[in-house]
Structure 1
Amino acid sequence: MTDQPNTCTAVLHATFFESSARHPPAAHADLIIPVSTLANDTGNDASVPPQFSLNVTVPRNAVQVFAELFASGNGNEEFWYFDAPNEFVDTVPTFGEGPFREVRMLVDGQVAGVAFPYAVIFTGGIDPTAWRPITSYGALEQPTYTIDLTPFVPILTDGHPHNISLDVVSAESDHAINQNWFVSGNLQVKLDPSNKPTTGKITVLNAPSFAVTNTTGIVADNDVNFTVTATHNIHIEADIVSGSGARTHVVWTQNLQFSNTQNYINNSFVQLLFQTATGSFQSTHNGVSTLVDTFSYPLDINITSLVPDGFSFVTTVNHSYNRVSHPGPFNLGSTISEHQLAGGFFEETSSGNFGNGTSTNTFSYVDTAGNTYARQVSAVDDNITADKQSGSLAPKEAPPFPTFGPKTKLSVAKARLPGSRVIGN
């Protein structure tokens, strides 16, 4: 311990083993180029809109480039999946710009790849009691998305700076969104040992700037119902010749689908949401699968007010994260399946905010190195009621089972709801 109050010093001992023929080093990029604000005094994610752009110079002997994207909806975009199409926004208690979001990466203004993001619900989102003590999946570590920029290598390796842009767009006619999303990324670059310039050309370029979308709906009596759908298909091919003379034919495809249906019943006393985002990314280099990403993100939410002023309500959230991913040659492939059914009751009173919540979660993980992990865990009113772990990555000893606390209503923070509504003291 030191003499300073609230300060301690720890010593960590670790042993590292040199790689060998039996234990070769892990695959890694030869160069990583950040796609961020490059700020060194704050977080370096960029806030969009407007579109974020920067110029990067890729080494002339680059032969592969993979881009990892990060995107997080915040502020008035925290509940983007609950936003209403602009033609219906005056009839429901939420923001406009619709519920569809697409994260795009562009090279010199040309779309190179996109992602339909997973809907992350943060710990104060909708009903805080639903996320105690188990947060929703992704709330503490949001997923990233990988696209293959290798088809653009013949352009990127000409020795000149090139513009890399990130943005998030909607299904509205002007593709506008609210404020804001935080976005960033990196380029993982593989170099040819010859140090000679890479050459080649893009042979197929079918990458529409925006998804194909459709919006339908109806306002009848005291109810509002609408559905937004979107699809985006990308197909890019290129022939690449390294300085060493190796020839590679690259095929990069994305096939993505999205649907969001919302029902506002009895003057929005009941709000129902049914959303699915599914799709696949695939890249082959000389016919060999190099990047694979197949995903399904279903999300169903029910928010029902119990009193006219909305200060008391119940919520049910049923969502899943299912993903089979092998994000390029530098990372392990994995299969992740996560399902969470959570809900709760929230009430604002003169003496504070109270409620109760339940959560049931099933998670499984398998990777291409043979590692496995599975967990089933449930909670009621901030207490773990069941917890079972298994697999090669599970702890050898089961964690101690906590004592169940008193069966009283939880005292909780304010509830954040779609449309920037805040309920609670």
Structure 2
Amino acid sequence: MKKLLIHLDTTYGQGPFRELRLLIDGKIAGAALPYPVIFTGGLIPSLWRPITAYGALDLPSYFLDVTPFVPLLTDGNSHQFTIDIVSAEDDHTILQNWYVSGLLQVITDSSSKPTTGNMTVYDAPLFSQTSTGGVFGLKKVNIQVNATRKLHIEANILSGSGKATHVVWKQDLSYSNQQSYIQDAEYQVLRQSASGKNIATHNGVPSVVDVFSYPLYVDFAFGSEDQKNWTTRVDHSYDRVVLPNPLIVGSTTKSNQITDGFFQLATGGNFGNGTSNNTFAYADLVGNTYTRQVKAALNVITFDHEGGSMAHTGRTTEGFRGISEVINFVQWGARLPGGKGM
């Protein structure tokens, strides 16, 4: 055994703060802030016709490097990997609509001799640092939830073939959720952001890189006192630079979607409409690029343009730089394309 990497998947449930955790023998090995996927019935069904929200049909995976635990896992005993979801509640409980899974990838050494080593640094709190608060006024309620997590694990590993590897695994995650309910919840506002940096190096060389930002803005308003019609605006983005492991090509993905919609409950049949403006850009380390802009209104695509080396037209897109900028970092110096810092 030389390296251990794990890919985590989750179906996004309800609640302002949810942290996906991986534990090995009860010790935190890594965590993720899941992207807030909105499925096709979310808020207003007509918002997602004919274009679904990003991730609704293919939920993102999250990548953790558990190589620092190799010295503890090669002792010949059985060990337990646990994946769970926790909240910012005092007892960390969640609702029941979360489903998680994991894929453990093992990179073995060429020698049949055992791998040895020792964990030299372990600074990984069991739970994130969270804070909650609220302000209650006349026909108005404001709620805020904040969370941060820092993790730092290091280990020295000696493979059976004699190769020595110094592994450093760090995470720095941040989360904020602000909600306002105005005029007896006739108007509702959500401002949420999740961002972070996950970086693992093996002898100073990046092995896993995951730099992300998931902002989500929602404005909701009832149009009548009986609450049978309402309007909603959603502005959400998926910005991510990721190197899943040394065997998978690193890539940069930037997606933004702004939707506006109306929905009416009626005895003769519910109806609604929506508009959608979508931009997407992708680049990877082997030089593939793809960009697309799509607009829709009243269930009809009104604009569709694609570019990049993987486009059907074969056109290239200028001004979008790939993950190579991130790989050339010094410790926490990762930056997004275009020089935008995280």
TM-score by length of 1: 0.73
Equivalent pair of 1:101/1:169 in contact (CA under 8 Å): yes
CA contact (8 A) 1:325 1:335 kept: yes
Mapping for residues 175-194 of structure 1, pairs under 5 Å? 175-194=92-111
Correspondence for 1:384 among 301, 305, 310: 301
**Equivalent in the alignment of 2:278:** 361
State the partner residue of 1:167.
84
Q: Could you tell me which residue of structure 2 aligns to residue 196 of structure 1?
A: 113
The aligned counterpart of 2:174 is: 257
1:216 aligns with 2:106: no
In structure 2, distance between residues paired with 1:195 and 1:396: 51
* In the alignment, structure 1 residue 307 sits paired with structure 2 residue 224: yes
List per-residue Cα deviations over 1:313-357 (Å, max 9, x = no partner). 000000000000111111110000000001200001110011110
Q: CA deviation at 1:397?
A: 8.0
Which residue number corresponds to residue 286 of structure 1? 203
Q: 1:153 aligns to what SS in structure 2? A: helix
One-letter identity of the residue aligned with 1:322: D
Paired residue type of 1:263: S
Structure 2 Cα separation of the partners of residues 176 and 206 of structure 1: 24
Paired residue type of 2:121: V
Is 2:9 aligned against 1:65?
A: no
Quote the Cα distance in structure 2 between the aligned partners of 1:166 and 1:119: 18
Contact preservation (8 Å) 2:307, 2:314: no
Give aligned pairs, total.
315
Equivalent of 1:319, from 236, 240, 245? 236
| Rg larger in structure | 1
After superposition, where does 1:367-406 map in structure 2 within 5 Å? Answer: 367-396=284-313
AA aligned opposite 2:98: W
Report the equivalent of 1:45. none
> Could you tell me how far 1:226 is from its partner in structure 2?
1.1
The offset of 1:160, in angstroms, is: 2.0
Does structure 1 residue 233 correspond to structure 2 residue 150?
A: yes
Cα 1:315/1:103, change in 2 over 3 Å: same
Q: Residue 130 of structure 1: CA displacement?
A: 0.5
Amino acid at match of 1:68: H
Cα distance in 1 for partners of 2:204, 2:247 equals: 18
CA distance in 2, matches of 1:159, 1:309: 65
SS at match of 2:2: strand
Aligned equivalents of 1:396 and 1:390: distance in 2?
A: 7
Distance 1:394 1:140 in 2: 21
Q: Are 1:135 and 2:52 matched, yes or no?
A: yes
**Superposed CA offset, 1:7-27 (max 9, x none):** xxxxxxxxxxxxxxxxxxxxx
User: Residue 290 of structure 1: CA displacement?
Assistant: 1.1
- How far apart, CA to CA, are the structure 2 residues paired with 1:253 and 1:292? 10
Whether the 8 Å contact between 1:127 and 1:343 is mirrored in structure 2 is no
**Aligned-pair Cα RMSD in Å:** 1.0
Q: What TM-score results when the alignment is normalised by the length of structure 2?
A: 0.91
Query: Are 2:31 and 1:114 equivalent residues in the alignment?
Result: yes
Runs of 4+ in structure 1 off by over 2 angstroms are none
Question: Residues 150 and 173 of structure 2 are in contact (CA less than 8 Å); yes or no, is this contact kept in structure 1?
Answer: yes
> How far 1:159 moved relative to its partner?
2.1
User: Which residue of the partner structure matches residue 410 of structure 1?
Assistant: none
Partner of 2:165: 248
SS at match of 2:265: strand
1:316 aligned partner, one-letter code: R
What is the CA–CA distance in structure 2 between the aligned matches of 1:237 and 1:310, rounded to whole Å? 55
Gaps of 5+ in 2: 316-342
8 Å contact from structure 1 (residues 366, 372) kept in 2: yes
